Structure 1
Amino acid sequence: MKIFAFGSSIVSSYWNGAATYYRGCYKYLARRGHSVTFAEPDAYGRQQHRDSGDFSYVESVVYRPTIDVAAMLERAAEADVVVKHSGIGADDELLEALVSEMGAERPVFFWDVDSPATLARMRANAGDPFRQAVPKFDAILSYGGGPASRDGYLQFGARAYYSIYNGLDLETHHPVDPDAALRCDVAFLGNRLPDREARVEELFLRAAELASGASFILGGEGWGDKALPKNVRWIGHVPTDDHNRVNCSAGMVMNINRASMADSGFSPPTRVFEVAGAGACLLCDDWPGIDDCFEPGTEILVIRRAEDVVQALRKYDEKARKKIGTAFRERALRDHTYDLRAAQAEHAFIESLERRSGVERAFPTAERVEQPA
């Protein structure tokens, strides 16, 4: 199967939290025998901050925003299926309209990496053109959002909906030797975003103030002018190929979802699975559906306020943290690999192709919910 996908970037994680997700899904789709072309705009300095790594499993095409859109659509027309990812950051509205119209000739998919935000946008604006595009796609794929995301898309006329969660690629996220320069009690990697900052202030920064004798590392863009406690060290952007060193050097690693994702729930971000691959002990903010992925108290530690972080630092010694991290990794390897996610995406594509030809077949490993007639 020839797959053509429009996305933010597969070669750069700079201001692009979806990079790991794209890489995992498309690498393992390629290993299942599919040909993948991934088109990304030259925008936001991402091409100037490309990650090291082998991305030869896809044909990576970098295009000029707006100027090269027509040429990219001509190339996409040669594929068996065409995917438009959300949040590219350049020509999104144009691509959503034009890719949805390509559905007259071939299956087209909208693959959402931030469904709560997309749905909120449509609900807030009755004139949002994406409202008219949703029913034209063969299916909506989403990396999270659970029942709220599914029901929201069905209300906007989606033909079918599939959940394709983030996952673990053990080839890229795995245990490494700790780096003395990155040793700390708690590490958090995340860009500064309005939808997450208040949660970072409570769970990470206030926890650092309360645990003044502990050391904290903050990674990610945008924090340069933020007032930080004295025991918090900001290390700036951390490329994905350095995440293992950070995860394996910290006593505990923290995950903090954006507020929209936390409210909808069922949205485990890439960071969760990267930490799992490293076998590190995770302090995870609370959201609905987290226990569908990992067992709180045994495989992860759930935190709801700064005091929970302080208590975890006191309660769990190095041996206990290692035990939790090991169980965390084993569960991810069993239930949450990108090989499994790629199989689910493949099922979505094949099922949509068969639906067009009048063939129905159930795939138990892929969630699909069609809009009632």
Structure 2
Amino acid sequence: MNIVFVGLSLSSSWGNGHATTFRALMRGLDKLGHRLAFLERDVPWYANNRDLAEPDFCTLHYYESVPDLVDRFGDLLAAADAVIVGSFVPQGVAVIDAIVPLCTGSFCFYDIDTPVTLAKLRALDFEYLADHQIPLFDIYFSFTGGPTLERLETEFCARRAEALYCSVDESRYAPQAEEKIWDLGYLGTYSVDRQPTLERLLIEVARRMPDRRFVVAGPQYPTDMELPANVDRIEHLPPTEHASFYSRQRFTLNVTRADMIAAGWSPSVRLFEAAACGCPVISDRWPGLEDLFPFGRAIEVADTTEDVCAILARDDAEAIAEQARKIVLASHTGEARARELVAALQSLHVTKTHQRDAIAMGASNA
């Protein structure tokens, strides 16, 4: 298939999780033999922080504006078997309106922020998607599964909503033979709604366990954030260093945004990446997590500071990490996710073909 993505960013992972999600998925699609292109708005904050300017699995193009997108890449979009627009695309509403008339193949949306998107729609905030545009898509692929899929179809009139979780490129995320230097670490961009959980499940733990070492990595944290002396701080960690980072931790912490906890069934790419690297995960609690990783066997769940302290005092991390890695390699690699995407697009093609045949047969019998 010839698939074109229009997304937030492929070239830069700075301050967003979209890039690594798209990279794993598209590498999986490339392995399956599909032809791929990615269209990205050229903006300074990503242009100045690119860590994949020339991908080897797709063609990457930059556009300056919505008219520029249409003028320079209209033929590419029209020739595609499927066009997939991502969430948080700059001027997304205008981009969608401009692309709709061009598409001759399947037209889909990939929401890597579904709970945030629905909260915005409820508030009449149409930053990158308007509610009247949802029925335009043949398939609404959602980072969030569970009951949210039914809600997309019944409340927002999506023609078809499918879960398409993020995934991990197992060739780049694997255990490294490195010394463990941190007892617990966290990797994530600063977020106001995640910060209380980070405080409770890592920073306060560090205060209570001064003989242990901790680390917080990720951009955009307040410059005046106070950390205990035993907590290391890393401003930005490019994906090329993620495997090493996870491999140097005894445990890593997963912290989920409030909207995604409320919706459930919204696994962060960090869960899959850490597990693929053989690093056991301690996570906050949310609906659907145990469907992915059985509690106590493939993941540890903590609600309080005391929970984390007790987990760090145990010595059964290796078995938990091994089980989680098996689950990820079986079901959550980029290639596994690519097969899910292709199967959905192919079933859509079959449905459309049957519909066209039925219409043609009805016309011939008239």
Give TM-score, length-normalised by structure 2. Answer: 0.90
**Structure 1 segment 4-83 matched on structure 2, within 5 A:** 4-51=4-51, 55-66=55-66, 68-70=68-70, 71-83=72-84
1:347 is aligned to: 343
1:271 is aligned to: 270
CA gap of 1:68–1:225, structure 2 versus 1, over 3 A, is farther
CA gap of 1:232–1:17, structure 2 versus 1, over 3 A, is same
In the TM superposition, residue 164 of structure 1 has moved relative to its aligned partner by 1.0
> What secondary structure is seen at the aligned counterpart in 1 of 2:330?
helix
CA gap of 1:127–1:3, structure 2 versus 1, over 3 A, is closer
Could you tell me whether the CA contact under 8 Å between 1:119 and 1:153 is conserved in 2? no
In the TM superposition, residue 189 of structure 1 has moved relative to its aligned partner by 0.4
CA gap of 1:152–1:259, structure 2 versus 1, over 3 A, is same
Deviates more, 1:21-30 or 1:71-80: 71-80
- The AA in structure 2 aligned to 1:45 is W
> What secondary structure is seen at the aligned counterpart in 1 of 2:354?
coil
Deviates more, 1:188-197 or 1:126-135: 126-135
CA distance in structure 2 between the aligned counterparts of 1:297 and 1:277, rounded to whole angstroms: 18
CA distance in structure 2 between the aligned counterparts of 1:16 and 1:102, rounded to whole angstroms: 29
Whether 2:13 is the aligned partner of 1:2: answer: no
1:195 is aligned to: 193
Could you tell me whether the CA contact under 8 Å between 2:152 and 2:158 is conserved in 1? no
**Structure 1 segment 1-373 matched on structure 2, within 5 A:** 1-51=1-51, 55-66=55-66, 68-70=68-70, 71-88=72-89, 90-102=90-102, 105-125=104-124, 130-178=130-178, 183-223=181-221, 224-314=223-313, 316-317=314-315, 320-358=316-354
> What secondary structure is seen at the aligned counterpart in 1 of 2:3?
strand
- The AA in structure 2 aligned to 1:196 is R
Query: Percent of pairs identical after alignment?
Result: 29
- The AA in structure 1 aligned to 2:110 is W
In the TM superposition, residue 66 of structure 1 has moved relative to its aligned partner by 4.0
CA distance in structure 1 between the aligned counterparts of 2:304 and 2:107, rounded to whole angstroms: 42
In the TM superposition, residue 17 of structure 1 has moved relative to its aligned partner by 0.8
> What secondary structure is seen at the aligned counterpart in 2 of 1:166?
coil
CA distance in structure 1 between the aligned counterparts of 2:58 and 2:298, rounded to whole angstroms: 34
**Aligned pairs, number:** 353
CA gap of 1:178–1:67, structure 2 versus 1, over 3 A, is farther
CA RMSD of aligned residues (A): 2.1
> What secondary structure is seen at the aligned counterpart in 2 of 1:253?
strand
CA offset digits 1:113-170 (Å, max 9, x no partner): 0100111111222888711111111110012242124423431110001111122321
Identify unmatched segments of 5+ residues in structure 2. 357-366
Deviates more, 1:226-235 or 1:246-255: 226-235
Could you tell me whether the CA contact under 8 Å between 1:189 and 1:220 is conserved in 2? yes
* Structure showing greater Rg: 2
- The AA in structure 1 aligned to 2:79 is E
CA distance in structure 2 between the aligned counterparts of 1:112 and 1:127, rounded to whole angstroms: 14
Give TM-score, length-normalised by structure 1. Answer: 0.89
